[in-house]
Amino acid sequence: MSPPPFAGAAGAPPRARVLPRFLTRLLAVVAVVLGTALAGPLPAARASVTLTQVSDFGSNPGALTMYVYRPASLPAHPPVVVALHGCTQNAQVYADNSGLPQLADRDGFLLVLAQTGSANNASQCFNWFQTTDNRRGQGEALSIRQMVSQAVTAYGADPQRVYVTGLSAGGAMTAVMLATYPEVFSAGAVVAGLPYDCTKDNSPYTCMNPGVDLSPDAWAQRVRDAYPSYTGPWPRTAVWYGDQDTTVVPRNATELRDQWTALHGLSQTPSRTATIGPDATRQDQYLAADGTVAVEVDRVPGIGHGTPVDPGTGTQQCGSTGAPYFAASICSSYWIARFFGLDTSDPGGGGTGGGGSGAACWTASNYAQVQAGRATTSGGYTYAKGSQQNMGLYNTFVTHTLKESPTGYYTIADSGCP
């Protein structure tokens, strides 16, 4: 999110607000200065990621633009990751710096990037805070939903493996999508965003800083109210925050945790805590009864407002600090892909998906199969969902191939798949 007035005057829809040209330029300069301070010195120019614009994806009531990054080698029926940029950014900037395209290449998923513009919001923010855009069936939320439908239809993507992530206003809009279309998204990752519908009775500025404290049940009810007839399951949700963020304060990470753990019927005490990455990011995980990670909170030390990236060629590295609001730290996109169950880089990742003859196949550790929702754990052992075949101990060392056929029913297929 950019400095005020990214949301327009109180009660005034940003689409109707036109700023003087000199003020618009001043805001842009301020945003660049703040972003550069967060991200550090700019490196040498690098080649831009090649995106394809999709012009016809539905009625598009939110007046958004759709871009797609399609890896050269894409498996049949690939997963879809929807990415939502932050204020003062666009789809190209997010693709060039977040690291998501290189992970799409490695892990075999289709990347869809939604883009808003100054006609919608003076600071190019998604309008997560206004009811014309954050409700099911209308505005920007519906436009993003239509992009998913287009990706499934045009690219043969798997509608059961659709995920969403975004930074700042894009992170807040990620929470909007998980709340308004929970049947569409299997999981989401909110980076420096806010709980859904905080602005129901608060200004955007209050929600951002100092934040709003509600009970877990009260937060959860706001999500239920977004789609009252929906009975679940709820999307799995990861939350990423810099612990020095003064734009969208870290209290919002706690409130997001409260909102989504309550929806999943879980305690607000983490099931397990670990330290990950080169900067000792604290990762708290909240496990569902079947052993899957329903909610995860990752608190990154020493950075402010932005997407954490770790430029380099290592397995757990990605991204660039070539634009404001990309902070050198940990490659959050790598860990987000892992949370989604898409990571194929090591035995602890999400597994390798394949297809053919009506079946999809996944090779991964027992731990990763459980994290991806293809298996469950009980008494220290792992069981394939559907068939309930015993896969052995629940750890990162035992690896199996699971065949999914029909959808949601898994059998061990170590000798070959399909």
In 248-324 the beta strands, taken as DSSP E runs, fall at: 272-276, 281-287, 293-300, 307-309
3-state secondary structure 54-91: ECCCCCCCCCCEEEEECCCCCCCCCCEEEEECCCCCCH
Please, are residues 333 and 350 in contact by the beta-carbon 8 Å criterion?
A: no
Using DSSP's 3-state secondary structure scheme, residue 287 falls into strand
Tokens 């759709």, residue located: 66
- State the DSSP string of 224-255: HHHSTT---PPPEEEEEEETT-SSS-THHHHH
Name the residue type at position 267. S
Known catalytic residue at 98: no
What is the phi/psi pair of residue 363, to 5°?
Answer: -110, 120
CA atoms of 271 and 99, how far apart (whole Å) = 29
pLDDT at position 418: 53
pLDDT at position 8: 34
Percentages (nearest 5) of helix, strand, coil residues in the chain: 25, 25, 50
CA atoms of 254 and 250, how far apart (whole Å) = 7
**Model confidence, pTM:** 0.76
Please, are residues 75 and 359 in contact by the beta-carbon 8 Å criterion?
A: no
**How many residues are present in the chain?**
418
- Residues with Cβ < 8 Å from 407, sequence gap 6 or more? 160
CA atoms of 43 and 55, how far apart (whole Å) = 33
pLDDT at position 299: 98
Report how far Cα 349 is from the mean position of its chain's Cα atoms.
17
60-69: b (≥16 Cβ within 10 Å) or e = bbbebbbbbb
Nearest CA-CA partner of 315 in 344, 341, 342: 344
pLDDT at position 248: 98
Using DSSP's 3-state secondary structure scheme, residue 140 falls into helix
Active-site choice (2, 123, 168, 332): 168
- Residues with Cβ < 8 Å from 317, sequence gap 6 or more? 310, 311, 331, 334
- State the DSSP string of 359-415: EEEEEEEHHHHHHTTSEEEETTEEEETBT--EEEESSSS-EEEEEE-STT-EEE-TT
pLDDT at position 46: 58
Please, are residues 165 and 246 in contact by the beta-carbon 8 Å criterion?
A: no
CA atoms of 252 and 197, how far apart (whole Å) = 12
pLDDT at position 408: 73
Alpha helices (H) along 57-210: 91-98, 100-107, 139-155, 169-180, 204-208
pLDDT tens digits in sequence order for the chain, 418 residues long: 544 334 333 333 334 333 343 333 333 333 333 333 333 333 444 569 999 999 999 999 999 999 999 999 999 999 999 999 999 999 999 999 999 999 999 999 999 999 999 999 999 999 999 999 999 999 999 999 999 999 999 999 999 999 999 999 999 999 999 999 999 999 999 999 999 999 999 999 999 999 999 999 999 999 999 999 999 899 999 999 999 999 999 999 999 999 999 999 999 999 999 999 999 999 999 999 988 999 999 999 999 999 999 999 999 999 999 999 999 999 999 999 999 999 876 444 443 333 333 457 778 889 888 888 889 999 889 999 888 899 999 988 788 888 877 667 888 988 776 5
